[in-house]
């Protein structure tokens, strides 16, 4: 089968080549991929790819071989899936516990934009607890996770301030009910909760805007700059503030359960994937360049059909 394989070259990090068709385990489906989306984290991994690894965590397509143990969707059903890797290919093996059936209202292009960003947003808000009526500051709101967090939190009754340098992107977030500011320093506060995904200087600046006993949940470092916290700044800041790390993978629920929730929200018009680019999968290397240079707003989805 055809699949994208890391090249190890910085200028063109993947190339379309040949790979063996997957042989699913008893608890895995074989999915014929119709569409996949690209995550910024995958573009970072492609800079120094692990041996034997192929990219692809967000896919949608058709089940052509059901799990031998009888779990998961059946042959002929369209699914959205979150494999560990290797989804930028004609076929991918996916654990049945990481796939959810698609209703006819949801396209494979929409579905491909859901898994990593949608799962992160859903689980992040679950970790934060009840958000209705709480004042929340969200940094790094221009990304896919920020989009989903904004829509879900605002719909749940949060008083959300989103940090986005892009005026175009900010208008989209404001449409969900968020107050949008270009920098953390422009956020008035104080806030009960900060959801921080930028790293660098953003985290200590956000920490200063907490109420006493407020909380920062740190779930990313999009700036790729390390965070430095000054202990004396902490003493002069909010009383008994908490900084907590979050990983979307640290969850007892299988991805399928949360994927079904995301699909249901899309099907009922309560969640709207933002698709910034749809292109033929042969354009993947060029799309990766566009993503790294931030020329794509929202998800980039590549289609095989």
139 CA to centre of own chain: 14
pLDDT at 251: 80
Check: CB of residue 139 under 8 Å from CB of residue 198. yes
Q: Is the dihedral of CA 180, 295, 80, 6 positive or negative?
A: negative
Q: pLDDT tens digits, the chain, 305 residues: what are they? A: 999 999 988 778 999 999 999 999 999 999 999 999 998 888 888 989 999 999 999 999 999 999 999 999 999 999 999 999 999 999 999 999 999 999 999 999 999 999 999 999 999 999 999 999 999 999 988 888 999 999 999 999 999 999 988 777 788 899 999 999 999 999 988 999 999 988 778 888 888 899 999 999 998 877 777 877 777 777 777 878 888 999 888 788 899 999 999 999 999 999 999 998 999 999 999 999 888 887 887 889 999 98
pLDDT at 77: 98
> pLDDT value at position 89?
98
pLDDT for 144 equals 87
Averaged pLDDT score across all residues of the chain = 92
Q: What is the pLDDT of residues 110-148, one digit of tens each?
A: 999 999 999 999 999 999 999 999 999 999 888 889 999
What's the confidence (pLDDT) of residue 225? 78
Q: What is the pTM of this model?
A: 0.93
pLDDT at 256: 97
Domain ranges, ordered by start, for the chain: 2-114+273-303, 118-245
| Confidence at residue 265, expressed as pLDDT on a 0 to 100 scale | 98
Q: Would you state the pLDDT for residue 205?
A: 87
pLDDT of residue 204: 86
Retrieve residue 281's tokens.
């999968």
CATH of 2-114+273-303, one of 2.60.120.10, 3.40.50.10320, 3.90.180.10, 2.40.240.10: 3.90.180.10
pLDDT at residue number 2: 98
- CA 111/CA 267 separation, integer angstroms: 10
Residue 224, classified by CB atoms within 10 Å of its CB into exposed (0-12), middle (13-18) or buried (19+), is exposed
Predicted local distance difference test score (pLDDT) of residue 171: 86
- What is the CATH class of 118-245? alpha beta
Whether 118-245 and 2-114+273-303 are alike in CATH topology: the answer is no
DSSP string, the chain: -EEEEE---SSS-EEEEE-PPP---TTEEEEEEEEEE--HHHHHHTTSPPTT-----EEEEEEEE--TTS-SPPTT-EEEE--SS--SBSEEEEEGGGEEEPPTTS-HHHHHTSHHHHHHHHHHHHHH---TT-EEEESSTTSHHHHHHHHHHHHTT-EEEEE-S-HHHHHHHHHTT-EEESSGGG----EEEEEE---TTHHHHHHTTEEEEEEEEE---TT-------HHHHHHSSTT-EEEE--TT--SS-HHHHHHHHHHHHHTTS----EEEEEEGGGHHHHHHHHHTT---SEEEEE--
- Residue 90 C-beta-side C-alpha neighbours within 13 Å: 8
pLDDT digits (tens, 9 = 90+) for 13-39: 999 999 999 999 999 999 999 999 998
């Amino acid at each position: 089968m055809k699949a994208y394989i890391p090249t190890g070259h910085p200028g063109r990090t993947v190339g379309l080549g040949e790979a063996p068709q997957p042989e699913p385990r008893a608890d895995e489906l074989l999915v014929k991929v119709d569409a996949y989306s690209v995550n910024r984290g995958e573009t970072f991994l492609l800079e120094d790819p692990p041996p034997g690894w192929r990219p692809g965590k967000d896919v949608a397509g058709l089940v052509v071989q059901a799990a031998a143990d009888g779990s998961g969707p059946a042959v002929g059903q369209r699914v959205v899936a979150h494999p560990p890797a290797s989804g930028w290919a004609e076929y991918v093996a996916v654990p049945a516990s990481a796939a959810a059936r698609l209703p006819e209202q949801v396209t494979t292009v929409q579905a491909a934009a859901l898994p990593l960003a949608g799962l992160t947003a859903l689980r992040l808000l679950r970790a934060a607890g009840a958000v209705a009526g709480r004042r929340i500051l969200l940094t790094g709101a221009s990304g896919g996770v920020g989009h989903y967090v904004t829509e879900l939190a605002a719909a749940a009754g949060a008083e959300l301030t989103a940090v986005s340098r892009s005026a175009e992107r900010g208008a989209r977030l404001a449409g969900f009910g968020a107050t949008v500011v270009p920098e953390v320093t422009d956020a008035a506060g104080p806030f009960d909760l900060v959801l921080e995904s930028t790293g660098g200087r953003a985290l200590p600046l956000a920490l200063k805007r907490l109420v006493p006993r407020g909380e920062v949940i740190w779930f990313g470092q999009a700036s790729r700059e390390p965070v430095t916290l000054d202990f004396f700044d902490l003493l002069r800041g909010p009383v008994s503030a908490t900084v907590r790390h979050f990983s979307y993978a640290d969850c007892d629920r299988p991805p399928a359960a949360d994927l079904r929730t995301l699909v249901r929200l899309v099907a009922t018009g309560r969640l709207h994937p933002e698709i910034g680019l749809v292109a033929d999968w042969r354009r993947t290397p060029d799309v990766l360049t566009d993503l790294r240079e931030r020329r794509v707003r929202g998800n980039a989805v590549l289609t095989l059909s």
